[in-house]
């Protein structure tokens, strides 16, 4: 997941932290739902040839994901969107990202 | 594992616009009612205004429910109050032309337009409906109206069911101020105050055993969040099913009820988000997130029902805004660096009932093919929305299409004509699933009769958006309440 997040996230430095958070979130959520993302990652990992997605350099990973985003294969687009959504939601829901975009955060508890 | 038995006069399944109303109304009328809700009772003081905390608490699948091909994100509430806890609080009744359409095309003619209107009045009053005041219209909504005026597209501000709104902007992840008058704050507590209504949360209904044309019991599982911790069985004389247009058909299918039409005729009324960056402060994330709409291109006729399209202002918190854009990677941060200058709207395009819901264990499988005619209307809606934003001064417009370049002028919209509109490439949201337990006279093509009773079953009614023969309105809370009141004989 970290390999995909490094490319999908607005800031790749946040990838290790957020990948871990998503893992933890999935573990505590609906077990049936939690199976889907790891399966998507497995498909991505093995589609990229012998060495695997996570071993590719950043530019090559980006190229793979761009290919999936506009793929003619519906399941590739679906997997891309699931990963994109998970990545950008985890990034922007996180208070660490708010200063950079000028969002002043929740009003309760102020 | 707990094993619990309940006994009651009336059992209501689901606590949203239909079930919450039914439970409260019947309890106030002196009936003994048990209300079952799969989600939790999340109170105002638990609403943290944090997306990653509230989405799992308030939404079905934490907001990750999709159609089978990933084409449409289907948003539904899963908490006491159902989707009335997480909706935009828009109060829009069923247009009279839709009622005429249902009568002419589907034979749904038992109630007069006057009765539907009276039901709308009762429901609107009960949830505190009022017109959004001009000082409550945020900049995002003003820009939509302004662009509409420049292009000659009519619009207005909404009626809503917020009372004492502070304008925090967090409607989609639960009101921390008890201002949005969901069923959890209106019908349900009024019912409970009579002593006749008991509420069980964390209760997921799995089936309705039946014999000789009567449902004998309501069976299901007790949940602690998502973990099954026990089973329950409810003995009731009368059952009201109001689990929404995705889950009501699922429960009927699991019970071998509803005939061949159950789960068919799904409308999702998908909406596509378009956002734009302006040269001024917009702060769409503050104020009423959906205050205004442009309906100048919407059509409504007795022959075809609701058609055309409408554009509605929409504000969103950062995560939801990013998810519903099309961008990713460092470019997304570049676009979001000026989050305070971004405005957004939804292109709402009424559809035909062409989808279906199937069962996979307890999970729904939502099949929803796009029709070519609907896609062309969506293409027109997206283009119109971009033109509206450009007319109101946007510097950049972001279309909900994977890979579409940033739009900086009307010339950049030319590529939209040939652009493929594919599932999981065109970004779509559904907040108004309808139609899967369609009302009608023929048990082969419909699920409930004109009195909302499941064909052939004497003590089971369906009172939610699944009964609508075609899309009822551009917003479904008030239409569901209208239907529920008619089904209960309140009018």
Q: pLDDT tens, B359-391?
A: 998 789 999 999 999 999 999 999 999 999 999
What the block records as the tokens of B40 is 């939790």
φ/ψ of B287, rounded to 5, equals: 80, -175
Subunit contact A88:B328, Cβ cutoff 8 A: yes
pLDDT band at A33 (very low <50, low <70, confident <90, very high): low
Work out the average pLDDT over A6-35: 78
| pLDDT for position A32 | 62
* Beta carbons of B461 and B239 less than 8 angstroms apart: yes
ipTM rounded to 2 decimals: 0.92
Distances (CA, A) of B271 to B284, B333, B372, B432: 18, 24, 16, 10
Q: Which two tokens stand for residue B316?
A: 């969103």
Whether residue B116 is found in the same domain as residue B207:
yes
Which pLDDT does position A38 carry in this prediction? 82
Number of folded domains that form chain B: 2
- Inside any domain, residue B363: no
Write the CA distances from A104 to B211, B241, B317, B450, integer angstroms: 58, 42, 11, 51
Query: Does residue B66 belong to any structural domain of this protein?
Result: no
Per-residue pLDDT at B333: 86
B109 CA: distance to closest CA in chain A (Å): 42
Name the A residues in 24-63 with CB < 8 Å from any B CB: 25, 29-33, 62
Q: Verify whether the Cβ–Cβ distance A90 to B52 is below 8 Å.
A: yes
pLDDT at A49 over 80: no
The answer as to whether B68 is a domain residue is no
- Please answer yes or no on whether B424 and A92 come within 8 Å at the CB atom: no
User: Which residues of chain A does B48 touch, with a Cβ-Cβ cutoff of 8 Å?
Assistant: 106, 108-109
In a domain, B356, yes or no: no
- The answer to whether residues B487 and B415 belong to one domain is no
Q: How far is B100 from chain A (nearest CA, A)?
A: 39
Alpha-carbon span A49 to A57, nearest angstrom: 14
Per-residue pLDDT band for A19 (boundaries 50, 70, 90) equals: confident
Spans of all domains in chain A: 2-97
Which residues, given as ranges, of chain B have pLDDT below 50?
none
pLDDT given for residue B145 in this prediction: 98
Domain carrying residue B4: 1-59+75-128+163-262+437-491
**CA-based nearest distance A34→chain B, Å:** 10
A chain contacts of residue B69, beta-carbon cutoff 8 Å? 74, 78
Residues B236 and B151 in one domain: no
Q: How confident is the model at residue A30 (pLDDT cuts 50, 70, 90)?
A: low
User: What's the pLDDT at A29?
Assistant: 59
- Residues B136, B24: one domain? no
- Residues B402, B276 within the same domain: yes
Residues B183, B291 within the same domain: no
């Amino acid at each position: 997941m970290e390999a995909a997040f490094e490319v999908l996230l607005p800031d790749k430095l946040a990838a290790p932290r957020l990948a871990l958070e998503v893992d933890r979130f999935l573990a505590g959520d609906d077990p049936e739902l939690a199976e889907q993302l790891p399966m998507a990652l497995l498909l991505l990992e093995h589609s990229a040839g012998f060495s695997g997605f996570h071993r590719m350099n950043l530019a090559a990973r980006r190229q793979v994901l761009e290919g999936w985003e506009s793929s003619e294969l519906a399941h590739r687009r679906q997997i891309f969107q699931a990963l994109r959504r998970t990545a950008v939601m985890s990034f922007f829901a996180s208070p660490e990202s708010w200063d950079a975009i000028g969002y002043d955060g929740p009003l309760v508890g102020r | 594992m707990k094993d619990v038995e309940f006994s009651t006069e009336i059992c209501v399944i689901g606590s949203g616009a239909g079930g919450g109303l039914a439970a409260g109304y019947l309890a106030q009328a002196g009936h003994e009612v048990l209300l079952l809700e799969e989600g939790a009772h999340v109170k105002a003081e638990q609403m943290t205004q944090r997306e990653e905390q509230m989405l799992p608490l308030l939404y079905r699948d934490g907001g990750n429910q999709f159609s089978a091909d990933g084409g449409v994100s289907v948003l539904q509430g899963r908490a006491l109050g159902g989707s009335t806890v997480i909706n935009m609080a828009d109060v829009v009744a069923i247009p009279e032309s839709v009622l005429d359409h249902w009568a002419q095309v589907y034979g749904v003619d038992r109630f007069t337009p006057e009765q539907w209107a009276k039901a709308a009045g009762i429901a609107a009053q009960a949830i505190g409906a009022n017109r959004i005041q001009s000082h409550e219209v945020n900049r995002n909504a003003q820009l939509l109206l302004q662009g509409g005026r420049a292009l000659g597209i009519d619009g207005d501000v909404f009626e809503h069911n917020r009372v004492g709104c502070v304008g925090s902007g967090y409607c989609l992840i639960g009101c921390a101020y008890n201002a949005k008058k969901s069923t959890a704050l209106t019908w349900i507590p009024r019912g409970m105050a009579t002593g006749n209504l008991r509420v069980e949360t964390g209760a997921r209904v799995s089936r309705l055993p039946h014999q000789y044309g009567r449902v004998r019991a309501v069976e299901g599982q007790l949940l602690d969040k998502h973990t099954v911790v026990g089973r329950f069985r409810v003995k009731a004389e009368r059952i009201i099913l109001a689990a929404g247009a995705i889950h009501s058909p699922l429960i009927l299918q699991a019970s071998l009820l509803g005939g061949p039409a159950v789960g068919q005729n799904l409308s999702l009324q998908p909406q596509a988000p378009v956002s734009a960056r302006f040269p001024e402060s917009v702060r769409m994330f503050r104020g009423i997130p959906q205050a205004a709409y442009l309906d100048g291109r919407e059509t409504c006729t007795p022959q075809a029902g609701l058609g055309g399209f409408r554009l509605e202002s929409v504000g969103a918190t950062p995560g939801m805004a990013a998810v519903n854009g099309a961008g990713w990677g460092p470019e997304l941060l570049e676009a979001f660096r000026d989050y305070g200058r971004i405005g957004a709207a939804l292109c709402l395009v009424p559809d035909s009932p062409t989808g279906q819901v199937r069962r996979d264990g307890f999970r729904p499988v939502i099949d929803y093919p796009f029709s070519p005619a609907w896609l062309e209307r969506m293409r027109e809606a997206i283009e119109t929305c971009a033109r509206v934003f450009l007319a109101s001064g946007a510097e950049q417009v972001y279309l909900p299409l994977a890979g579409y370049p940033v739009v900086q002028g009307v010339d950049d919209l030319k590529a939209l004509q040939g652009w493929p509109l594919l599932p999981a490439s065109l970004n779509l949201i559904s907040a108004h699933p309808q139609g899967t337990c369609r009302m009608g006279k023929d048990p082969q093509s419909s699920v409930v009769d004109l009195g909302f009773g499941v064909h052939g079953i004497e003590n089971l009614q369906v009172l939610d958006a699944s009964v609508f023969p075609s899309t009822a309105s551009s917003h479904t809370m008030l239409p569901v309440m209208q239907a529920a009141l008619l089904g209960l004989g309140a009018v």
